[in-house]
Structure 1
Amino acid sequence: MILRLGTRKSKLALTQSNWVKQEIEKRFPDVQVELVKVTTKGDKILDVPLAKVGGKGLFVKEIEEALLDGRIDFAVHSLKDVPTELPQGLEVSVFPEREDPRDALIARDGKGLMELPPGAKVGTSSLRRMAQLRAVRPDLVIESLRGNLDTRLNKLDEGHFDAIILAAAGLKRMGLSGRITEIISPEVLLPAIGQGALGIEFRSEDHETRRILSSLSHEETTIRVRAERAFLARLEGGCQVPIGAYATIEGNELTLEGLIGDEDGKKILRMKKMGSVDDPEFIGDELGKEMLDAGGKEILEAVYEGK
């Protein structure tokens, strides 16, 4: 049996997809997984900040079209790129074990975030990171940095930036842990929703593919990302607005922390909600409602108006 796996062409996307391919073929010797590379809108537009490109699903839409018309059987995404609203007939419900969800600082001189000199230039493509960085280090110069992992690291090495911030998960998956100067605590930079997790998307009616993919599912990761994505769904946000959420589990208790901010870092709203691991969507949805009522709605409206 051959399964066609849709993936972006970046080194990180291919590394993630090849890992899934190997895991499936290891578990099901009669299954052969073929990689099908797809170029997305987000991959084509590299000279504009993501927030200015607009729309949700910049890195998944073309892959979903390939799923819907049968060119591929399933897709592997970085979950933080996947909107909560999916095309009819598709689902993202298999989540392998999560890699490190935190952000990582890579600095040319080896200094940590709080040690960078005033006026140091820091690059990131994320409004969520920009907002939180400006809140804790308003003296830094935060600039947009697009491109794949290699491109961003090269721009740092060439001296365009004093430091850059990337997801720790991508660096670790690419064998680049040695480049990390500092792993930043979620207390300082609350991670993106689903950061560090993979989301596997497939056609809901394709029961055989579902059966095979389900073998990769990781229970704790699934509970955590379900809570985070329910929070995102309540906020109706995409990955191009300054919001974040991070779920942790201790025993049977799930704690979800959410963040809504403005790009300048002048307004940052952070709240927590706890509850049973048995109902992650309820916790995410309730936290979203409470934060919108506590001033988050006004912050988000101002962010959308400014685009």
Structure 2
Amino acid sequence: MTAPLLEPPGGRPLRIGSRTSLLATVQARHVAELIHEYAPGVATEIVPIRVSADVWDGDLSRIGGKGAFSKEIDRALVAGEIDVAVHCMKDVPGDVPLAEGTAFGAYLERGDVHDVVVTRDGTPLADLPPGSVVGTGSVRRRAQLGMYRPDLRTERIRGNVDSRLARLNEDGSGYAALILARVGLDRIGETAQPQEVLPLEFHQADEGVVSMVPAVGAGVIGVQARQRDLAVMSLLGGLNHDQTARHILAERSMLHELRGHCNSPIAGYATTTADGAMSLHGMVFNRDGSELVRFHCSGSPDDPAALGSEVAAELLRLGARRLIDATGG
């Protein structure tokens, strides 16, 4: 495939907007490398943007939910201060429209979607004493952990991956373990700390297996641009991973129709089966995991949105609306 001719005004580099965290910077650099491979003549510049969610230690709903991870970057994109924006798709809200005039031009090939339990000494989750404190900033993780180990305490821990690890390892921190995304640890090279990989497949609470079904968009980097910038959108099209894009469309269609917000414990994960069909698992929990509804369905890979809608409709029929509404906005 031949890369499109791309000449930003004034001969300047293509500006890649990103959050300032170590993980976000690593992901932005990865996007820059892919652009250079696909279009060697295109120079790039990473523009770090400080966002609200990275300096807020409280409940995300108080500052606009998951949109707080991207609103400053969206403003910079719409204002022409950057040319593309790099996002973790699990942080892109499903109940808020994208910034006007923008669209995702590329979804990079999905990384590992497993969650892991990280401890100082490798103690398995099953062996943590009752009352131990597990740190997580995710309502989805908190609900699923509550299903299997209601005797553990979960406490919100915010901040970037590296700062969370530092807090775990502080003397007297009070945390026995953290639950984190494996892909984030891999991307920043933090693989020395003992990790217990949690299975993706759902298990009943009495089976003795702690599973952690992924978040919608887990492991996927999305690259957003202005729709009117046709050369940029064409360039991003060359980076797009088609199967990942289809999976994301199915998952986010489900999330959109559920009208989930940042306090909604929702899990959703699409895959392609051995026979080429698309499979979508959807789950909605209450806050502590004591109630849940779940549904799994397969469909054509040519209509991911229809599959997402079908799973959402069945979850709503099973009572998802009540669980979502009870968690507040």
How far off its partner does 1:51 sit?
Answer: 4.2
1:190 corresponds to 2:204: no
1:81–1:291 distance in 2 versus 1, CA, 3 Å: same
72-81 or 215-224, which deviates more? 215-224
Give, in whole Å, the separation in 1 of the partners of 2:311 and 2:106: 24
> Residues 115 and 180 of structure 2 are in contact (CA less than 8 Å); yes or no, is this contact kept in structure 1?
yes
SS of equivalent residue, structure 1 residue 108: coil
Give, in whole Å, the separation in 1 of the partners of 2:61 and 2:134: 18
> Residues 15 and 82 of structure 2 are in contact (CA less than 8 Å); yes or no, is this contact kept in structure 1?
yes
1:256 corresponding residue in structure 2: 280
Give, in whole Å, the separation in 1 of the partners of 2:174 and 2:85: 34
SS of equivalent residue, structure 1 residue 161: coil
2:205 corresponding residue in structure 1: none
TM-score normalised by the chain length of structure 1: 0.95
> Residues 51 and 70 of structure 2 are in contact (CA less than 8 Å); yes or no, is this contact kept in structure 1?
yes
Q: Where do residues 164-203 of structure 1 align in structure 2 (5 Å cutoff)?
A: 164-187=178-201, 188-203=211-226
Over the aligned positions, Cα root-mean-square deviation in angstroms equals: 1.4
The percentage of aligned residue pairs carrying the same residue is 40
Q: Where do residues 265-276 of structure 1 align in structure 2 (5 Å cutoff)?
A: 265-276=289-300
How far off its partner does 1:114 sit?
Answer: 2.1
SS of equivalent residue, structure 1 residue 170: helix
Amino acid at match of 1:299: L
Give a deviation string over 1:149-197, Cα, whole Å, max 9, x none: 1110011101431100111111111112332511111121111100110
> Residues 263 and 327 of structure 2 are in contact (CA less than 8 Å); yes or no, is this contact kept in structure 1?
no
Q: Where do residues 1-307 of structure 1 align in structure 2 (5 Å cutoff)?
A: 1=7, 2-46=13-57, 48-84=58-94, 85-158=97-170, 159-187=173-201, 188-250=211-273, 251-304=275-328
1:185–1:239 distance in 2 versus 1, CA, 3 Å: farther
How far off its partner does 1:72 sit?
Answer: 0.5
> Residues 104 and 180 of structure 1 are in contact (CA less than 8 Å); yes or no, is this contact kept in structure 2?
no
Aligned residues: 304
Give a deviation string over 1:75-103, Cα, whole Å, max 9, x none: 11011111242122111241011110121
SS of equivalent residue, structure 2 residue 122: coil
SS of equivalent residue, structure 1 residue 258: strand
Amino acid at match of 1:194: G
Give, in whole Å, the separation in 2 of the partners of 1:114 and 1:230: 35
Give, in whole Å, the separation in 1 of the partners of 2:282 and 2:267: 6
Give a deviation string over 1:200-238, Cα, whole Å, max 9, x none: 111111110011111211122111111111111111223
SS of equivalent residue, structure 1 residue 100: coil
> Residues 121 and 194 of structure 2 are in contact (CA less than 8 Å); yes or no, is this contact kept in structure 1?
no
Give, in whole Å, the separation in 2 of the partners of 1:91 and 1:183: 34
TM-score normalised by the chain length of structure 2: 0.89
Where in structure 1 are there 5+ consecutive unaligned residues?
none
> Residues 251 and 270 of structure 2 are in contact (CA less than 8 Å); yes or no, is this contact kept in structure 1?
yes
Give, in whole Å, the separation in 1 of the partners of 2:158 and 2:53: 10
> Residues 140 and 215 of structure 2 are in contact (CA less than 8 Å); yes or no, is this contact kept in structure 1?
yes
SS of equivalent residue, structure 1 residue 272: strand
SS of equivalent residue, structure 1 residue 57: helix
Amino acid at match of 1:208: A
